[in-house]
Amino acid sequence: MGGVMLLLLLCLSAGAMMVRAEDPYLFFTWNVTYGTISPLGIPQQGILINGQFPGPNINSTTNNNIVINVFNNLDEPFLLTWNGIQQRKNSWQDGTLGTSCPIPPGQNYTYHFQVKDQIGSYIYYPITAMHRAAGGFGGLRVNSRLLIPVPYADPEDDYTVLIGDWYSKSHTTLHKFLDSGRALGRPDGVLINGKSSKSKGKEEPLFTMKPGKTYKYRICNVGLKNSLNFRIQGHPMKLVEMEGSHTIQNSYDSLDVHVGQCFAVLVTADKEPKDYYMVASTRYTKTVLTTTAVISYTNGKGPASPVLPEAPVGWAWTLNQFRSFRWNLTASAARPNPQGSYHYGQINITRTIKLVNSASREGGKLRYAINGISHTNPATPLKLAEYYGVADKIFKYDTMSDDAPATASDKITVEPNVANITYRTFVEIIFENHEKSIQSWHLDGYSFFAVAVEPGRWTPEKRKSYNLLDAVSRHTIQVFPKSWAAIMLTFDNAGMWNLRSELAERRYLGQELYISVLSPERSLRDEYNIPDDALLCGIVKDLAKPPPYTI
Ligand SMILES: *[C@@H]1O[C@H](CO)[C@@H](O)[C@H](O)[C@H]1NC(C)=O
Ligand SMILES: *[C@@H]1O[C@H](CO)[C@@H](O)[C@H](O)[C@H]1NC(C)=O
Ligand SMILES: *[C@@H]1O[C@H](CO)[C@@H](O)[C@H](O)[C@H]1NC(C)=O
Ligand SMILES: *[C@@H]1O[C@H](CO)[C@@H](O)[C@H](O)[C@H]1NC(C)=O
Ligand SMILES: *[C@@H]1O[C@H](CO)[C@@H](O)[C@H](O)[C@H]1NC(C)=O
Ligand SMILES: *[C@@H]1O[C@H](CO)[C@@H](O)[C@H](O)[C@H]1NC(C)=O
């Protein structure tokens, strides 16, 4: 009797958890089509969402349920991923090729996810083919709930600034380059919100500010490969948030934004009332590509000065900037993984994984690898193969070792790269970059503590230089050439999670892997069931659905 009651109670509470009726829903219908855009002044094929390039901005609040019915009207399979949205227990909605079947041309799929316990500035973008090179990306903001104090006064307005390098070649041409073993080459320009200084037409202000007021700008790098420096003429930027964490509020004249990263800053309109340029320019490139966009004062008289603020030079500057980023430990905010949030510096490391990125030109064909493995996506998404119990037909776990081969070698293996990480363990991941170009690594499903970015090679003694107190909890970390970076996190989110190079060319040619975090119990407490309307493909297409997870 007591047992039955208890079971009933458990059922009720699990039911309540699944319905999540208390949190508001936001519904969207998105029509993804080709359309002509001219961001560099020359018409080219773009990917539009509801006719827009960049795509619509999602404005949500912590714990909102977001339902987006995406109609793919392209002639190729398409999939969007939500960079930095943690998809707690819900890798089904992560939108990567290891977790979902892409939406076939002419069909639709409805993403359904909750921005659980998150705040901050994020982006979404297409993960399929080289679609990101044509558009399909946009901003996604998660506001704090009204009850939760934010460590700064409400800004007058909240602006999203998407910066990125841009190619005038179509995404089809670019992926043909990569498929044939060639590199992408250099981009042709830089865009701010889909425009450049070369876009045709009058220079309309992108944003306006009322004198004396303070505005929030959320700056994200949606580009394919270049780190960008961002600055605003005459206006320092007070950093307040980075990829979901409130930061110590330092003031910066300019910020280096690496691919996939987002910063939120406050800017006060307290200068002479006129126009000002915001500037985005490529970092660490022989030829510097620059673009500008205008910010106007509402009472402004006169155009922006043509003299643009200089970008910083060299690595030391950017390394110091990274070291100045600190988490505000006293700010209250939604935090997704409380186990890992406090005193992460005192948790014992259960596993250290060192990942070394490399390039190979074996047989004249360019491929990129991690610890010698160049990932390839099987036709059956890894997560579906795992769920249907046919993983052994599709991939092997842990073919990659936790350490890179000691001898530098061009030898790589092309195969699915899936690491098995034990649920709820605290893991240290070292990214070591022996190459001459910068890297930017992103992990889905989690925030991690970015405890160090240092030149040279990593050794266990280097742990002494970690920031074990107030490193920012974030989802993307850059690694400078001939340098390393260290991150730490608790793997407490069951699912199949993509760890990828944000540099589109590198990811497309194999520099990514998946981390399978299995809940031992197939329990709804740890992971949601596969959605009823999940698209099926590959060998699971005609298999009987396995019994659902239970409490
Ligand atoms: C999407 O846009 C295309 C082209 O404008 C149009 O033909 C189609 O009907 C639209 N689909 C939806 C679902 O709105
Ligand atoms: C975004 O949502 C917040 C909270 O609902 C609202 O106050 C704000 O006006 C919205 N902003 C835009 C641009 O829609
Ligand atoms: C496709 O869109 C229709 C509404 O037009 C919706 O009823 C259906 O559930 C959607 N299919 C998927 C798989 O999301
Ligand atoms: C951190 O957050 C607290 C609490 O909201 C705030 O009072 C404080 O000013 C912030 N500290 C810094 C250095 O930004
Ligand atoms: C961490 O490891 C140390 C040394 O092995 C041990 O003494 C300590 O009890 C461990 N702490 C926890 C919380 O497991
Ligand atoms: C993953 O690792 C755990 C712990 O070592 C082990 O028990 C489990 O069998 C592994 N799972 C797979 C699918 O290899």
The arithmetic mean of pLDDT across residues 191-195, rounded, is 97
Residue 15: pLDDT band by 50, 70, 90 thresholds?
very low
Higher-pLDDT residue of 362, 440: 440
420 Cβ below 6 A of ligand 6? yes
Q: Which domain holds residue 513?
A: 339-540
Q: What single DSSP character describes residue 78?
A: B
Query: Given the CA of residue 386, which atom of ligand 6 is nearest to it?
Result: 13
pLDDT for 530 equals: 96
Looking at 143, 167, 187, which one is the last position of a domain?
143
Looking at 317, 351, 382, which one is the last position of a domain?
317
Is there a single domain that holds both residue 131 and residue 162? no
Whether the predicted pLDDT of 3 surpasses 50 = no
Q: Ligand 2, from 23, 59, 61: best to mutate by most atoms within 8 Å of Cβ?
A: 59
Is there a single domain that holds both residue 220 and residue 131? no
Tell me the sheet residues that pair with 82: 124
**What is the C-alpha separation between 453 and 440, in angstroms, rounded?**
12
**∠ CA(107), CA(89), CA(375), 5° rounding?**
65
Domain-embedded: residue 548: no
Q: Ligand 1, from 30, 33, 69: best to mutate by most atoms within 8 Å of Cβ?
A: 33
The arithmetic mean of pLDDT across residues 425-439, rounded, is 96
Tell me the two tokens of residue 286. Answer: 């022989």
pLDDT for 17 equals: 40
On whether the CB atoms of residues 148 and 334 are closer than 8 A, the answer is yes
pLDDT in tens, 335-365: 655 544 568 898 999 999 999 999 999 888 9
On whether the CB atoms of residues 281 and 262 are closer than 8 A, the answer is no
Nearest to 504 by CA among 223, 99, 314: 223
DSSP helix/strand/coil, 117? coil
pLDDT for 335 equals: 63
389 Cβ below 6 A of ligand 6? no
**What is the C-alpha separation between 512 and 400, in angstroms, rounded?**
12
Domain-embedded: residue 549: no
**Which ligand has its closest atom nearest to the C-alpha of 350?**
5
Query: Given the CA of residue 420, which atom of ligand 6 is nearest to it?
Result: 1
Query: Given the CA of residue 107, which atom of ligand 3 is nearest to it?
Result: 1
Is there a single domain that holds both residue 95 and residue 131? yes
Whether the predicted pLDDT of 68 surpasses 70 = yes
Whether the predicted pLDDT of 409 surpasses 90 = no
**What is the C-alpha separation between 296 and 32, in angstroms, rounded?**
32
pLDDT for 1 equals: 31
**Is the peptide bond between 547 and the residue preceding it cis, with omega within 30 degrees of 0?**
no
**Which ligand has its closest atom nearest to the C-alpha of 71?**
1
Is there a single domain that holds both residue 138 and residue 167? no
Ligand 2: centre distance to CA 111 (Å): 22
Our separate counts of H helices and E strands in the chain read 7, 33
Torsion of CA 350, 120, 89, 108, to 10 degrees: -140
Torsion of CA 346, 347, 352, 354, to 10 degrees: -50
* Look-up of token digits 């730490």: 488
250 Cβ below 6 A of ligand 4? no
Tell me the two tokens of residue 119. Answer: 């705040």
Is there a single domain that holds both residue 166 and residue 267? yes
61 Cβ below 6 A of ligand 2? yes
pLDDT in tens, 231-275: 999 999 999 999 999 999 999 999 999 999 999 999 999 999 999
Torsion of CA 223, 471, 278, 254, to 10 degrees: -120
pLDDT for 334 equals: 63
Whichever domain contains 425, its CATH number is 2.60.40.420
Q: What percent of the chain has pLDDT over 90?
A: 86
Please state, as a whole number, how many other Cβ atoms lie within 10 Å of the Cβ of residue 10: 12
The arithmetic mean of pLDDT across residues 515-524, rounded, is 91
Higher-pLDDT residue of 262, 149: 262
Is there a single domain that holds both residue 71 and residue 136? yes
pLDDT in tens, 33-55: 999 999 999 999 999 999 999 99
The arithmetic mean of pLDDT across residues 14-40, rounded, is 81
422 Cβ below 6 A of ligand 6? yes
Whether the predicted pLDDT of 8 surpasses 70 = no
DSSP helix/strand/coil, 237? strand
pLDDT for 407 equals: 62
pLDDT for 410 equals: 67
Query: Which residues, other chains included, contact 147 with Cβ-Cβ below 8 Å and sequence gap of 6+?
Result: none
Is there a single domain that holds both residue 432 and residue 523? yes
Whether the predicted pLDDT of 102 surpasses 50 = yes
**What is the C-alpha separation between 36 and 40, in angstroms, rounded?**
12
107 Cβ below 6 A of ligand 1? no
Ligand 3: centre distance to CA 137 (Å): 22
Torsion of CA 206, 212, 213, 216, to 10 degrees: 60
pLDDT in tens, 113-144: 999 999 999 999 999 999 999 999 999 999 99
Q: What is the model's pTM?
A: 0.94
Looking at 115, 143, 171, which one is the last position of a domain?
143
pLDDT for 527 equals: 96
Domain-embedded: residue 105: yes
**Which ligand has its closest atom nearest to the C-alpha of 425?**
6
Domain-embedded: residue 505: yes
Is there a single domain that holds both residue 418 and residue 514? yes
- Kindly tell me the burial class for residue 462, based on how many C-beta atoms sit within 10 Å of its own C-beta (0-12, 13-18, 19 or more): middle
Domain-embedded: residue 184: yes
Is there a single domain that holds both residue 309 and residue 343? no
57 Cβ below 6 A of ligand 2? no
**What is the C-alpha separation between 187 and 222, in angstroms, rounded?**
13
Is there a single domain that holds both residue 313 and residue 362? no
DSSP helix/strand/coil, 179? helix
Domain-embedded: residue 262: yes
How many domains would you assign to the chain? 3
pLDDT in tens, 301-342: 899 999 999 999 888 899 999 999 999 988 876 665 554 456
Q: How many CA atoms lie within 13 A of 15 on its CB side?
A: 6
Is there a single domain that holds both residue 368 and residue 408? yes
Domain-embedded: residue 12: no
Is there a single domain that holds both residue 472 and residue 426? yes
**What is the C-alpha separation between 430 and 418, in angstroms, rounded?**
17
**What is the C-alpha separation between 49 and 37, in angstroms, rounded?**
13
Domain-embedded: residue 11: no
The arithmetic mean of pLDDT across residues 91-97, rounded, is 98
151 Cβ below 6 A of ligand 4? yes
